[in-house]
Amino acid sequence: MVVTIKNSHVVKPATPTMTGRVSLSEWDQIGTITHVPTIYFYKPSQTQSNAIINNLKDSLSHALVPFYLLAGRLHWIGRGRLELECNAMGVTLIEAESESKLEDFGDFLPSPEYQNLIPNVDYAVPLHELPLLLVQLTIFQCGGISLGLTISHAVVDGKSALQFMSEWARISRGEPSGMLPFLDRKVMRAGDPPSAPPQFDHAEFGLPPLLLGKLNNTEERKKKTTIAMLRLTKNQVEKLKNMANEGRSIDTSIRGYTRYETLTGHVWRSVCKARLHKPEQPTTLAVCVDSRRRVQPPLPDGYFGNASLDVIAVSHAGELLSKPLGYAASKIREAIETVTDEYVRSATDFLKNQPDLTRFQDIHALRGADGPFYGNPNIAVVSWLTLPIYGLDFGWGEEIYMGPGTHDFDGDSLLLPSPNEEGSVILAICLQVAHMEAFKQCFYEEISLN
């Protein structure tokens, strides 16, 4: 696919905004600190392409007034820590066109071609020169549109990114603002001295298990990966939930395993089977938990920043595969239920006490050899099941597809609600090429057998 860049704009806030350095919370500075890509596809619009780009530029500049943090730049301040400089340097908006047509994308399975539709972030450039948000509008030969963007995970998590996109689209449609962002990171105690030693043993900050007999994960990091988008119908989801809850107490006060706990347990078991793990192989599953309503008091509505914690479920492949699905779901629930106000505060204290945060930063987008690695024999499953990911209308109609950009890291996976059928789910998963076909078979086999 040939994509021609026609123009690149630096878009700055429409009116003056606050300037100066802003402290980031510990949660902004660990995990993925690089940019995260997303893409939207739209049907052909009756609006002229020059009117579309002008409206996008204008609405983006107005959206950057309340969301002025995104127009700033990150700075390393030593000890693996970052600060955000609010300097209105702006974000990048690229105009592009392609001779391809929407029909060429089929069912929009993420592919390497998406790299032409999403702005590239050049990490060879000093961090303090990189925009925190880059957007590319591509007009196809048929008149269809894609909007590809990549946004710094050191500044926002998924919920905050979607809040910004929703407000930008609202302004683009000419509607009044909705929820304004809450920008004060101090509610996550950024910059305060630790109040006490951590109360808990935070295993999630340790290194995940290695393959048995291996001293490091260097070889696993190098292996070629591929992506699959697997669909489960509402009936298949219900079937899995029934399997997970089979044999549990009929006491109605005991909460049944959720859709996320069930599906994630099923993914974990299927991955272990596909990777042909030995029964004694330790394996962890990283679970991303939103703490906004779990801390006391709850974070203000519109909290703009990272408020999600990665916790881990731990087991052995033999236990996962020899026991019913409910066992895997129970391990995942245990991990999720650890995230209380006390646990979040304890984890914050743990991170504040660290002399250097580098080892907690996932910089695999830079092909680094350090930092956490949730590839073989581990996995990470992020849920977008309850996020308002669909219906982004900038004035030319809602998208016909929305999904992750290119993710090529073994063990990365994402659960999305299907846009077409209520109750059905899509799993976007990246695994080593050597394991993908076996995984697909395992993923559907158990459902069809039961």
Between the CA of residue 444 and those of 230, 231, 236, 383, what are the distances in Å? 9, 10, 9, 20
**CB contact at 8 A, 227 and 408:** yes
- E-strand stretches of 213-321: 225-232, 282-290, 308-316
Give catalytic status of residue 370 as yes or no.
Answer: no
Instruction: Return the closest-CA partner of residue 14 out of 53, 52, 71.
Output: 71
Give catalytic status of residue 364 as yes or no.
Answer: no
CA distance 322 to 272: 11
Counting Cβ atoms within 10 Å, is residue 318 exposed (0-12), middle (13-18) or buried (19+)?
middle
CA distance 390 to 173: 16
**CB contact at 8 A, 109 and 229:** yes
**β-pairing verdict for 412-417 and 145-152:** unpaired
Q: Which of 153, 202, 277, 364 is catalytic?
A: 153
Q: Which of 58, 290, 393, 408 is catalytic?
A: 393
Residues ≥6 apart with Cβ < 8 Å to 312: 203, 204, 208, 284, 285, 286, 287, 335
Q: Which residue numbers are catalytic?
A: 153, 393
